[in-house]
Amino acid sequence: MAVVRITAWLEERIDLWPIRHFIQKKVIPVHRHSVWYYFGGMTLFLFAIQVATGILLTLYYRPSGEEAYESVQFIMTDVQFGWLVRSIHSWSANLMVLMMMIHAFSVYLMQAYRKPRELTWVTGMLLFGIVLFFGFSGYLLPWNVLSYFATKVGTEIAGQFPLVGHLLMRLLRGGDEVTGATVSRFYGIHIAILPALTTAILALHLFLVQKQGMSVPPSVERAHRGQPLRAMPFVPNFLLRDLFGWFVTLGLLAALAALFPWELGQKADPFAPAPAGIRPEWYFVFMFQSLKYIPAKIGPFDGEVLGVLGFSLGGLFLLLVPFLDKKSALGEPSPLFRRIGIGIIAYIVIFTVLGYVAPAVP
């Protein structure tokens, strides 16, 4: 009853009809690929957890080479439920990247990037890049041995970028080496710059999704040509299912955080040798592993530079795919782009697995 009274109170002051109308009218297509529609919402739910737990962590975290490790240690040992907040933040970050990858590649394979959703795709890909950068910047913040060396290697790879590489590396590190200054810088990027960018782009992404509705795969459209598509109301049918998934994820996060709390490891020591078998977070492993296989020199060019250039071009391809795939824009089947998408997924999976099972490259 309180909800009704609050709604009535608001109704007297603001015209809520457009919102009510939107909620009543919003429907979700029902077909054999409908399951993929849940992953965007799941990513958003995990992002909300990241924001909430991230804000709590900022209350105790101190971004400097002298205090970062100790402050995280304090969070994990002395702060009430600090261990839980940090563990959920770390596990949720990894799950979010996984969900985002599933969401992005399911959208790609369903060719939901085609006209008129080009901007939705572009904003989504920008969010993809931002989330990866969120992961990269956040990984350094505990200032432990693994994060130190992962950042050292990661920024070195960024430094291989043609022409602007060295400048980019210095910009990221806040100097020539990874130091306490890098921690302060990454913290600023992690809690201010990236959240601001995310808020703006995510708002546009969600606006476009709501404005244009859910895309139906071309194959489903062709199968139902001339017949009305089945659909379910977003509120409450789809939202309840979304909630169901979110609670399952919440349970999974709680179990992971309680049974496998995120390790802190040893404090970073720039003078210590790099630990054996070091590798970055799992979502960067495919790139890391690929660079291992590239020869030091390819003709007159530096192999690593070519590798970095290749990944940049791959990212650019994904960003611009709605404008490159002319056939799907016309509503025609586009097997070439479908095969490219499957190839990219297979490549990422194979090289990630190789990164774990065959880390030593001859």
Contact between 243 and another protein per CB under 8 A: yes
Nearest to 348 by CA among 97, 84, 118: 97
Contact between 219 and another protein per CB under 8 A: no
The secondary structure of the chain in percent helix, strand, coil, rounded to multiples of 5, reads: 70, 5, 25
Burial of 358 (0-12, 13-18, 19+ CB in 10 A): exposed
Burial of 33 (0-12, 13-18, 19+ CB in 10 A): middle
> Measured between alpha carbons, how far is 354 from 259 in angstroms, rounded to an integer?
27
Residue 216 host element (H or E): none
What is the closest distance, in whole angstroms, from the C-beta atom of residue 241 to another protein in the complex?
A: 6
Contact between 213 and another protein per CB under 8 A: yes
- Cross-strand pairs, 232: 28
Interaction with another protein in 150-209: which residues (CB under 8 A)?
none
* DSSP reduced 3-state for 233: strand
Q: In this chain, which of 7, 58, 212, 312 binds another protein, going by CB under 8 A?
A: 212
Q: What angle do CA 98, 261, 93 make, to 5 degrees?
A: 25
Stretch binding another protein (CB under 8 A), from 166-174, 190-198, 256-264, 344-352: 256-264
Phi/psi at 294 (5° precision): -75, 130
Interaction with another protein in 60-99: which residues (CB under 8 A)?
73, 76-77, 83
Contact between 53 and another protein per CB under 8 A: no
Stretch binding another protein (CB under 8 A), from 1-9, 213-221, 308-316, 320-328: 213-221
98 vs 329, beta carbon nearer another protein: 329
Stretch binding another protein (CB under 8 A), from 131-139, 201-209, 249-257, 290-298: 249-257
Taking CA atoms, 201 is separated from 121, 173, 187, in Å, by 11, 26, 20
What is the closest distance, in whole angstroms, from the C-beta atom of residue 312 to another protein in the complex?
A: 31
Contact between 214 and another protein per CB under 8 A: yes
Contact present, 359 and 277 (Cβ < 8 Å): yes
Interface mask toward another protein for 116-155; x: CB under 8 A: xx--------------------------------------
171 vs 258, beta carbon nearer another protein: 258
Interaction with another protein in 10-39: which residues (CB under 8 A)?
27-30
What is the closest distance, in whole angstroms, from the C-beta atom of residue 329 to another protein in the complex?
A: 12
Stretch binding another protein (CB under 8 A), from 51-59, 167-175, 186-194, 225-233: 225-233
Cite the beta strand spans of the chain per DSSP E.
27-29, 231-233, 297-298, 301-302
Handedness of CA 142, 145, 146, 150 (dihedral sign): positive
Contact between 297 and another protein per CB under 8 A: no
Q: In this chain, which of 35, 229, 274, 346 binds another protein, going by CB under 8 A?
A: 229
Contact between 237 and another protein per CB under 8 A: yes
Q: H/E/C letters for each residue in 141-177?
A: CCCEHHHHHHHHHHHHHHCCCCCCHHHHHHHHHCCCC
* Interface residue list for another protein (CB under 8 A): 27-30, 73, 76-77, 83, 116-117, 212-216, 221, 228-233, 236-237, 240-241, 243-244, 247-248, 250-251, 254-255, 258-261, 263-264
